[in-house]
Amino acid sequence: MKNSKPWRSPVVLMRISSILFFLTMLGHAAAYPWTSTTEDPRETKLVESMIDTPYVFFSNTPYAFFGERTTYWSLYFGWGLLVPVLLLALAVILWILSGLAHLGPRSIGTICAVLSAASLVGASISVRFFFTPPFLTYFTICVLLMTAAVQLLRQQTMFADGKTEKL
């Protein structure tokens, strides 16, 4: 099925989503160290307490994580470093998969649907816990990937020898 508008093809939609994941990664990494830099003494005190206390959520209960003693700040900081790596991997994998869409449209369509659902969850979490830019990014990715998924799931499978099979 040839799309009359190439900018709406599943490959283009997947690549736009890949770019949006990459931009999300840049935004997350640029927020280093994921705290406010204002001179408000309350914010400074909060960050210092996150760094210094070996207790979770600042309670008096010692915090052990998988048998290791840690601070809330260590987990917060480490997760802040890991998220951009995962977003970059997702962006690269989605870009690569877009080039394979013609070989296995139903499989790639299913992957797009799963990533679309995950992006909808990301948008929901962003509305509740973060702010507008990540919500808009994840919601846009959700719509783009769901559109690509629907298009791909309606296509035939094309084999390497050029033959197709209606599934």
Q: Would you state the pLDDT for residue 74? A: 74
Q: Would you state the pLDDT for residue 66? A: 77
pTM (two decimals): 0.76
How many angstroms separate the CA atoms of 32 and 30, rounded? Answer: 5
Residue 55 pairs with which residues in a beta bridge? Answer: 62
91: exposed, middle or buried (Cβ count in 10 Å: 0-12, 13-18, 19+):
buried
How many angstroms separate the CA atoms of 119 and 142, rounded? Answer: 5
- For CA atoms 79, 81, 82, 83, give the dihedral sign: positive
CA-based R_g, the chain, Å: 21
Query: Tens digit of pLDDT per residue, the chain (167 long)?
Result: 455 566 689 999 999 999 999 999 998 888 766 555 667 777 777 666 666 655 445 443 446 767 777 777 777 778 888 999 999 999 999 999 999 998 889 999 999 999 999 999 999 999 998 889 999 999 999 999 999 999 999 886 555 555 655 43
Q: Would you state the pLDDT for residue 30? A: 83
Q: Would you state the pLDDT for residue 2? A: 53
